Amino acid sequence: MGEEPIGEPRHGHLLGRLSRLTDPAGFFRSDGEDRAADPLVAAHKAHFPKADVRLLRYAYTVAERYHRGQTRKSGAPYVTHPLAVALILADLGMDTTTLVAALLHDTVEDTDLTLGQVHAEFGEEVAVLVDGVTKLDGSKWGDRAEAETFRKIILAAAGDLRVLVIKLADRVHNLRTLRFHPKPEKRRRIARASLELLVPFAERLGIYVFKREMEDVAFACLHPEEYERTHAAVVGSAADRAARLDPLLEQLRKALTAAHLKARVVSRDRHLYSLHQDRRTPPIGPADPPRMGEAARVTVLVDGDAADCYVALGAIHGLWRPLPGRMKDFIALPKYNMYQSLHTAVVLPGGEALELAVRTPRMHRIAESGIISQIQDAAQASGTHARQAAHRADLQWLRNLLAWQAHAPSAEFLDSLRVDLRSAGIVTFTQAGDVVPLPAGATAIDFAYALDADTGHRAVGALTNGRLSSMTAPLEDGQVVEILTAGDGGSGPSEAWLESARTGHARVHIAQWLADRHAETAGLAGRRLVADALAARGENLLDLEGDGTMLQLGAEMGHPNLETLYTAVAAGAVTVDELTGHLTAVQQREEDDTGR
């Protein structure tokens, strides 16, 4: 899934089975090709000291051989791209299988290496990952290629989230080298797609290190002047912020020690895109740099358990006055992407606000790399468990995508996906206390369909926090929602619901229900037209349906069933005169056959 390679791939056969590669000094060092893989091997062994890296070196050798002759837009050999993708993942601690798949992720798409050969040489697990990130052929799929490729990735990720992890690392590296692409419009298109589709996936998987980098690079591409102004302001005011913040952090460390806690207090500047999004007026610039509380993010890493985090929160609030309504407990109620922390905002001396997060070091790993940290832990415990850790059936957002994606036409799929991938925004609850995350602006319609499609179709009203409310009114964070439903004879969703729904899950099911009902209504109208025309000829439609004549007639006219035939009549695609004329011909043919 890298940028399009320049030049023709070098065709050839695989180098042979891994059993031939047991002598690194004799094989790998013979032409020096494997030297390029040394940084990757070192990064991998830093996390997995006992890893057998022969397969990793072999995968690089195969990738280099098959990509030989291809170059990147920068002029570098194409193999530098899959090697960089694998190195990004190795630095984060991904397992050997994922790194092998990352090295091979473009071979099936851009060279004559087949998926069958990948399976034979590297096994089913690697082949599944490579297939999952391989784009569909644009020459065959046309305008549908991008939408159907994302649909394919989602389906593959349902079985193994490492498909998405490789795809994200692939995009991170492509964004790092985006400046080499000669076409400005294509650079902007890649940046926009990254913000709309890949960044949300990174957030859903909790890989914030990817999210922050992709957002900043896309920001620089799409809004270069704003980016440069924001960057200059943040860099230019860094020393002043540090001079003001450092004494406050020292105060906090002393307060935590007094509370008998072992903890590290660290700070970082928010990434530029986040600052830009939060303050548009007046825009951040050298003349109006970000305030300390705007730019700085303070994290308290507590050496202990969750209970110790609450003690640390108390120490913070004892030192500075908390801002009402700004405390959020993501430890008791983790985010949809496994994120856990306590969030608070306090008022500093002088009136400025400062935001802080409190978590354990393990929570911090998950906060930075999300699903990657869980896969790493499983692989370090036992490599056979990495695949199990990468299969998360409990991710509600993924279940929602799987529930509606199959019903969405290609033309609507990407738009619905963009809506569904937006930040969850609010958290709502069922009466039983189950969490239902929804995008900001979601309505009770979205809530009903998030439960299941049947509940959505039969919904007639909603109770929010025990009070009757409109199905189309936006929900608020923390509300308890109960959906009131009618029996099977209910009226079902309306066109107005389609306009009010915010999630792809709800919109796809509503659109499908309305299309089915429109077809049913049109079919009844068409049937009445046919019945009236036949009655004028002295014939009964029920008799012709009963003896199969109408079904035969429809098949001869290109309609596999009576519903589509009558719908075509109602739409004017088949006129009554055409139908009765064809009927006369069928009846005449039957009479002739009988006469014989």
Confidence of residue 140 (pLDDT cuts 50, 70, 90): low
Nearest to 79 by CA among 100, 55, 106: 106
Q: In the Cβ-directed half-sphere of 449, how many Cα atoms lie within 13 Å? A: 31
Q: Does the residue 161 lie in any domain? A: yes
**Which pLDDT score is estimated for 126?**
93
DSSP bridge partners of 426: 438
**Which pLDDT score is estimated for 245?**
93
3-state secondary structure 199-262: HHHHHHCCCHHHHHHHHHHHHHHHCHHHHHHHHHHHHHCHHHHHHHHHHHHHHHHHHHHHCCCC
One domain, residues 58 and 142: yes
One domain, residues 435 and 319: no
Cβ neighbours for 62, distance < 8 A, ≥ 6 positions apart = 14, 15, 103, 104, 107, 113, 121
One domain, residues 497 and 559: no
Q: Does the residue 213 lie in any domain? A: no
Interatomic CA distance for residues 152 and 361, integer angstroms = 35
One domain, residues 31 and 154: yes
Q: Do 426 and 476 meet the contact criterion of CB atoms below 8 Å apart?
A: yes
Q: Residue 95 is encoded by which pair of tokens?
A: 């397992």
Phi/psi at 343 (5° precision):
-110, 140
**Which pLDDT score is estimated for 136?**
76
Interatomic CA distance for residues 451 and 289, integer angstroms = 46
Q: Does the residue 55 lie in any domain? A: yes
Q: Is the pLDDT of residue 469 over 80?
A: yes
The enclosing domain of 321 has a CATH number of 3.30.460.10
Q: Is the pLDDT of residue 59 over 90?
A: yes
DSSP string, 383-404: GGGHHHHT--TT-HHHHHHHHH
**Domain limits at 521?**
513-595
Q: Residue 127 is encoded by which pair of tokens?
A: 């082949």
Interatomic CA distance for residues 255 and 356, integer angstroms = 15
One domain, residues 82 and 194: yes
**Which pLDDT score is estimated for 24?**
35
List Cα–Cα distances, 327 to 356, 380, 582, in angstroms: 10, 35, 74
Nearest to 437 by CA among 475, 465, 402, 469: 475
Interatomic CA distance for residues 258 and 554, integer angstroms = 85
List, for residues 167-206, the tens digit of each pLDDT value: 999 999 999 999 998 899 999 999 999 998 899 889 888 8
Q: Does the residue 475 lie in any domain? A: yes
One domain, residues 185 and 270: no
Which spans in 38-161 are helix H? Answer: 38-47, 54-67, 80-92, 96-104, 107-110, 115-122, 124-133, 138-141, 145-159
**Which pLDDT score is estimated for 154?**
84
Domain boundary among 207, 222, 252: 207
Kindly state the average pLDDT of the residues 367-394.
76
One domain, residues 330 and 296: yes
Domain boundary among 348, 369, 390: 369
Q: Is the pLDDT of residue 107 over 90?
A: yes
Buried (b) or exposed (e) across 166-188, using 16+ Cβ within 10 A?
A: bbbbbbbbbbebbeebeeeeebe
DSSP state of 327: -
The enclosing domain of 101 has a CATH number of 1.10.3210.10
Q: Which amino acid is at 46?
A: A
Q: Is the pLDDT of residue 215 over 90?
A: yes
Nearest to 443 by CA among 485, 473, 483, 482: 473
One domain, residues 151 and 179: yes
Domain boundary among 473, 502, 531: 502
The enclosing domain of 482 has a CATH number of 3.10.20.30
One domain, residues 525 and 495: no
Nearest to 269 by CA among 302, 250, 242: 242
Q: Is the pLDDT of residue 286 over 90?
A: no
**Which pLDDT score is estimated for 22?**
35
Kindly state the average pLDDT of the residues 94-114.
93
Q: Does the residue 275 lie in any domain? A: yes
CA 468, 474, 476, 479 torsion: positive or negative? positive
**Which pLDDT score is estimated for 436?**
84
Q: Does the residue 90 lie in any domain? A: yes
Q: Is the pLDDT of residue 25 over 60?
A: no
Helix, strand or coil, per DSSP, at residue 427: strand
Give 374: exposed, middle or buried? Use CB within 10 Å, 0-12, 13-18, 19+.
buried
Q: Is the pLDDT of residue 96 over 60?
A: yes
Q: Does the residue 508 lie in any domain? A: no
More confidently predicted of 282 and 366: 366
Catalytic positions, written as ranges: 109-110
Q: Does the residue 382 lie in any domain? A: no
One domain, residues 301 and 357: yes
Q: What total of structural domains would you count in the chain?
A: 4
One domain, residues 35 and 104: yes
One domain, residues 462 and 364: no
